């Protein structure tokens, strides 16, 4: 049975990520396409008694305003991270889960999502790494036109001081 007090070491670590962050986004629309770059911001805060972290992202994508919301949880029973993602560019919810590697300070989460370009469901993978107290990196991988995995996006988060 999971402890009633959720503020174990993992949840304390997640709470240490609270605050406002800037984001440097690099996206590739196709595996051989040049990257598109943009900037934005993200505000993280623990909610529901420190059990989850809610994040609100703002920026631009192709000169259009962008907003995304995510939740991050650590399931004490399953011993995995779980995340959800929604944004103003789509209508679905991306759900991913995966383990935490304390040695590399990295979570690798996997999930399935519908590709709006093809209409087919595909396997997606996200890596999230804590570089230091003020720097984090996220990368998203998905199926390319040939079905092989490729890096679609990379975001460098820097804590605002």
pTM of the complete model: 0.91
Question: Which of these ranges, 25-29, 85-89, 103-107, 116-120, has the smallest mean pLDDT?
Answer: 116-120
User: Which band of pLDDT confidence, cut at 50, 70 and 90, is reported for residue 121?
Assistant: confident
More confident residue, 45 or 116: 45
Structure tokens at 24: 């440097």
| Residue range 9-27+37-159 in CATH 2.40.128.20 | yes
Name the burial class of residue 93, with classes exposed (0-12), middle (13-18) and buried (19+) by CB atoms within 10 angstroms of its CB: exposed
pLDDT bin (cut points 50, 70, 90) of residue 58 is very high
Band (pLDDT 50/70/90 cuts) for residue 161 is confident
Strand partners, 21: 42, 159
> pLDDT class for 146, splitting at 50, 70, 90?
confident
Domain ranges of the chain: 9-27+37-159
Which of 138, 160, 145, 143 minimizes the C-alpha distance to 68?
A: 138
Mean pLDDT of 92-108: 96
- Predicted local confidence at residue 149, as pLDDT: 93
Q: Given this model, what pLDDT does residue 90 score? A: 85
């Amino acid at each position: 049975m999971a402890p009633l007090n959720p503020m174990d070491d993992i949840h304390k670590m997640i709470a240490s990520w609270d605050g406002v962050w800037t984001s440097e986004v690099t996206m590739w629309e196709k595996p051989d396409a040049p990257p598109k770059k943009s900037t934005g911001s993200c505000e993280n805060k623990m909610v529901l008694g420190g059990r989850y972290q809610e994040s609100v992202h703002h920026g631009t994508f192709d000169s259009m305003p962008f907003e995304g919301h995510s939740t991050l949880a650590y399931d004490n029973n399953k011993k995995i991270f779980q995340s959800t993602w929604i944004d103003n560019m789509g209508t679905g919810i991306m759900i991913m889960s995966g383990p935490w590697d304390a040695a590399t300070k990295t979570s690798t989460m996997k999930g399935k999502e519908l590709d709006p370009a093809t209409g087919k469901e595909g396997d997606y993978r996200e890596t999230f790494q804590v570089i230091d107290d003020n720097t984090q990196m996220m990368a998203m991988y998905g199926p390319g036109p040939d079905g092989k995995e490729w890096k679609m996006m990379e975001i460098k988060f820097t804590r605002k001081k």
